[in-house]
Structure 1
Amino acid sequence: MTMRSPVGKVDILPKEMGSLTTELPPAEPGTLFVMGTNGGMCVSPDAGFDVVFGRCEPDVHVCVGANDPHVSRRHGYITRERTRWVLHNVGRLAIRFPGSRLVLGGHRAELPVAYTPLFIVAPRQEHLLEVRIAARAPAPRPRDMYEVDTHNPDEWELSPTERLVLVCLGQRYLRQEPSPQPLTWAQAADELARLRPGERWSAKRAARVVTEVRKRLSTKVDGLLEEEIPPPLGNTLNHNLITELLLTATLVTTDLTLLNP
């Protein structure tokens, strides 16, 4: 997809641009990109512009959690403070960084120069707000470095069965649907039974497979055990697991082919 360059200090990102995990438009280092349900904003570091986000689309620059009344109309904003972009939570619900770090209402947090998925933690689901800050271009490397194989992220090892179940469970994320949530156990079992009719899939069996993966990863990843999450749990554990697998490229879009009959 060809992406347009920013025409000024502040520019609108169309919904069709997709996830900020993909290639960015040309931008100077420190440029802020924010993507919500229906598109986003791109702001240069010297623009003097605050990006406001929340559920009331007419009152904010980036819409998130549009259909969830638990999300504040103007839930927060991102502003430039000296040399850093800073997140301010002015809503009632906490905003979660990857893992278990929470920014509570009335608090602030500096954003890293990287891709950062932020989650507004509502009672029944979490709402994704993608943030990415453009990094400085790396210094030129010696010519022979171009021959070195690309280093992939440190992926988690999954068995074929675990991968199938997790792709089924997290397919809405892989399809980049707005505000995705994991399938229910019953939905996952129905689809697995359709794909593998001879394997007698049930909701309990699907849950056992995913629980084993969560326990295995929990020694190095926060937010995958019940005792780490305040009630009500809802889909939080599965959401955290899927997010970790996406961030490490353990699950990628091409895995959706596993769901073809």
Structure 2
Amino acid sequence: MTMMTRKAPGKVGILPKESGGLAAGLPPAQPGTLFVMGPDGGMRVSPDAGFDVVFGRCEPDVHVCVGGDDTRVSRRHGVITREHSRWVLHNVGKLAIRFPGSRLVLGGHRAELPVAYSPLFIVGPAKEHLLEVRIAAGPPPPGGVDLHEVETHDPDDVNPWRLSDTERLVLTCLAQRYLRQEPWPQPLTWAQVADEMGRLRPGETWNDKRAARVVTAVRMRLSTAMDGLREEEIPPPLGNALNHNLITGLLVNTRLRTSDLTLLGG
């Protein structure tokens, strides 16, 4: 697949690094407009621009650089193209690309992108590399509201997602491997979370049962807003599935962010 360069004036633009991530929302845009953001900036492409967005490690050869310090990431790792009124991701690299959760797009495969915010991860052996993708939704349906384009609210102002300071700290401890974008992350054990909390709050008494109670309370509260947070919804063996699903939901809905790692110090 070759890089396409044809474009209509004003239909392709550069997103500077300073514009921030895509999770918080989008500027006004034509429905179907593609936004792609790497750690050093990104691209905005209208649906009728006739332009493919290429991303990968080698900055001179791609539109969006991602994994620039990881030689396992291909120089040109993927291409996002417009096909039959849909944006489609093509993995042309060797490492898999992970959608939120556990769905993988392997090298040589393709996947349609949803009209939504999609954090994608190039799964390297030492870490995962984040590529943010968002597609502008169409106008609200008659009598309804398009939740992708409404004004973004601070998660702490929205129920049932509001997290107390203690809940955020415990969940950050639990999810730190995910926040550090380690490959195939797993939640910490309750004992490890309790040890972290004891270090961070030495004046309090923490053990595995107290850590589990805090997380369970959040999980049950959010079980009305998302699936996969109740034991009866998960086929055995249960393992870490409940905590994994909780962490993934919090990350995808930007209720936990990499900036929360600062709460752990060091």
- TM normalised by structure 1 equals 0.68
Q: How many residues align?
A: 232
Tell me the CA shift for residue 65 of structure 1: 1.3
Deviations 1:70-104 (A, max 9, x none): 11111101000120000000011111111221111
Q: CA RMSD in A?
A: 4.6
CA pair 254-70 structure 1, distance change in 2 beyond 3 A = closer
> 1:246 maps to which residue?
251
Tell me the CA shift for residue 227 of structure 1: 8.8
Equivalent of residue 197 in structure 1, options 197, 202, 206: 202
Equivalent of residue 62 in structure 2, options 34, 53, 60: 60
1:45 matched to 2:40? The reply is: no
> 1:20 maps to which residue?
22
Q: Is the 8 A contact 2:101 2:248 kept in 1?
A: no
> 1:29 maps to which residue?
31
Equivalent of residue 71 in structure 1, options 58, 64, 73: 73
Equivalent of residue 87 in structure 2, options 85, 88, 97: 85
* Structure 1 residue identity aligned to 2:127: Q
Tell me the CA shift for residue 167 of structure 1: 2.7
Tell me the CA shift for residue 208 of structure 1: 7.0
CA pair 249-51 structure 1, distance change in 2 beyond 3 A = closer
Poorly superposed stretches of 4+, deviation over 4 Å = 139-142, 150-162, 168-174, 179-182, 184-191, 204-214, 218-222, 225-228, 237-241, 252-260
Q: Is the 8 A contact 1:32 1:45 kept in 2?
A: yes
* Structure 2 residue identity aligned to 1:105: G
CA pair 239-193 structure 1, distance change in 2 beyond 3 A = same
Counterparts of 1:12 and 1:221, CA distance in 2: 43
Deviations 1:1-40 (A, max 9, x none): xxxxxx8111010111111011312210000000111111
Equivalent of residue 217 in structure 1, options 222, 226, 229: 229
Tell me the CA shift for residue 119 of structure 1: 1.1
Deviations 1:189-238 (A, max 9, x none): 78644531123669x89997899789x8375589xx7798xxxxxxxx98
> 1:166 maps to which residue?
171
Three-state SS of the structure 2 residue aligned to 1:27 is coil
Q: Is the 8 A contact 1:154 1:248 kept in 2?
A: no
Counterparts of 1:13 and 1:247, CA distance in 2: 22
CA pair 208-141 structure 1, distance change in 2 beyond 3 A = closer
- TM normalised by structure 2 equals 0.66
> 1:128 maps to which residue?
130
Seq. identity, %: 69
Q: Which runs of 5+ in 1 are unaligned?
A: 1-6, 143-149, 229-236
Q: Which runs of 5+ in 2 are unaligned?
A: 1-8, 145-152, 220-227
Deviations 1:152-200 (A, max 9, x none): 98857978755322234657988xxxx7558x97997786445311236
Counterparts of 2:30 and 2:94, CA distance in 1: 34
Equivalent of residue 140 in structure 2, options 120, 138, 144: 138
CA pair 172-206 structure 1, distance change in 2 beyond 3 A = farther
* Structure 2 residue identity aligned to 1:24: L
> 1:9 maps to which residue?
11
Q: Is the 8 A contact 2:91 2:97 kept in 1?
A: yes
> 2:147 maps to which residue?
none
Deviations 1:111-162 (A, max 9, x none): 11111111111122221111100011215659xxxxxxx9998857978755
CA pair 8-170 structure 1, distance change in 2 beyond 3 A = farther
CA pair 23-227 structure 1, distance change in 2 beyond 3 A = closer
* Structure 1 residue identity aligned to 2:115: V
